[in-house]
Amino acid sequence: MKTALFGAALVLAAGLIPATSLAANAPELKIATEAGYPPFEYRDPKGQLEGFDIDIGNELCKRMSRTCVWIDQSFDSLIPGLQARKFDLANSTMTATEARQKVIDFSTPVYIVPVKLMVKKGSGLEPTAESLKGKRVGVQQGTTMETYARKNWAPKGVNVIAYPSYTNAFVDVTSGRLDATFQEAQSAVEGFLNKPEGKNYELASMTLTDPILNEPIAMGMRKGNTKLETEVNQTLKSMLADGTIRKFSQKYFAEGNIQFPAQ
């Protein structure tokens, strides 16, 4: 559900991380991600990239006979990076919004995830302006959650605070500097609720149905790269049709926490 800020400066982070390929001389496919969003993309204790999107990207490269080269950088630099030809694809839980489609192209839809408000147990807070008035809500910079919150909540007295990563927001929740965070449900579960520090928190019961929060996740690419778009789409559709992406999801998500486009 993450969104890039169109005017943001390009910020390259941890460098290039080549993955294994079928052949040593296979052409590279450079894929950018922001590895601070478990279980979609994150680093394991050894510093290796892991996650649902990473599994999908590696399988994509395998089927396309390409060498995956992963570029880990800040999320709000993904669209500028594509436009600057720093990499070929952005694969980082990015929704294919109408605004984004004006500046980059997207692959066929890959999956959809629900968005939830995370709150302290017993708070009774729900994702409405009335419930959150006077409260402090954390979002990630450049995400559709930030867009929604600033449009629908901030004008009605909700203090919306943006962070480079939800990791920072979760720290502020435990310290009392935030009353809630607003993110994909599974990201809250894996990034905070399943950890000891998350024992006193929960997901609010209400699920918002606004279209901006329920648009499909897809891979971003530069406009006009028709050859790559065709190849990526054919490969992703085959991975969806044969159940490969659904199988990957079972490693990371509880039943019902992710949905797939009709085939």
DSSP codes joined into one string, the chain = -B---TTPPP-EEEEEEEPP-SSTTPPEEEEEE-S-BTTTBEE-TTS-EESHHHHHHHHHHHHTT-EEEEEEE-GGGHHHHHHTTS-SEEEEEEE--TTGGGTSEE-S--BB--EEEEEETT----SSHHHHTT-EEEEETTSHHHHHHHHHTGGGT-EEEEESSHHHHHHHHHHTS-SEEEEEHHHHIIIIITSGGGTTEEE-S-----GGGSPPEEEEE-TT-HHHHHHHHHHHHHHHHTTHHHHHHTTT--TTS-B----
More confident residue, 9 or 87: 87
Cα gap 77→136, rounded to integer Å = 26
Q: In the chain, what are the domains?
A: 12-112+215-249 (3.40.190.10), 115-212 (3.40.190.10)
Average pLDDT score over residue span 166-182: 96
Measured distance between the N- and C-terminal CA atoms of the chain, rounded to whole angstroms: 21
> What's the confidence (pLDDT) of residue 35?
93
Backbone dihedral angles phi then psi of residue 167, each to the nearest 5 degrees: -55, -45
Instruction: Inform me whether the pLDDT recorded for 3 exceeds 60.
Output: no
> What's the confidence (pLDDT) of residue 209?
83
Cα gap 107→230, rounded to integer Å = 8
> What's the confidence (pLDDT) of residue 15?
45
Cα gap 261→74, rounded to integer Å = 28
Instruction: Inform me whether the pLDDT recorded for 212 exceeds 90.
Output: no
Q: How confident is the model at residue 263 (pLDDT cuts 50, 70, 90)?
A: low
State the burial class of residue 225 (Cβ atoms within 10 Å of its Cβ: 0-12, 13-18, 19+). Answer: middle
Average pLDDT score over residue span 118-130: 97
Average pLDDT score over residue span 193-216: 91
pLDDT digits over 68-104, tens only?
999 999 999 999 999 999 999 999 999 898 889 999 9
Average pLDDT score over residue span 26-54: 94
Rounded to two decimals, what is the model's pTM? 0.70
> What's the confidence (pLDDT) of residue 24?
62
Cα gap 226→232, rounded to integer Å = 10
> What's the confidence (pLDDT) of residue 2?
52
Cβ-Cβ contacts under 8 Å for 254 (sequence gap 6 or more): 186, 189
Q: How confident is the model at residue 141 (pLDDT cuts 50, 70, 90)?
A: very high
Instruction: Inform me whether the pLDDT recorded for 5 exceeds 50.
Output: no
Contact of 53 with 41, CB cutoff 8 Å: yes
Q: Sign of dihedral through CA atoms 173, 206, 1, 100?
A: negative
Per-residue CA distances from 75 to 23, 62, 79 (Å): 30, 25, 9
Average pLDDT, the chain: 89
> What's the confidence (pLDDT) of residue 7?
35
Cα gap 82→70, rounded to integer Å = 13
Instruction: Inform me whether the pLDDT recorded for 16 exceeds 60.
Output: no
More confident residue, 208 or 71: 71
Q: How many CB atoms lie within 10 A of CB 261?
A: 15
Least confident range from 106-115, 138-147, 151-160, 250-259: namely: 250-259
> What's the confidence (pLDDT) of residue 37?
85
More confident residue, 121 or 252: 121
Q: How confident is the model at residue 207 (pLDDT cuts 50, 70, 90)?
A: confident
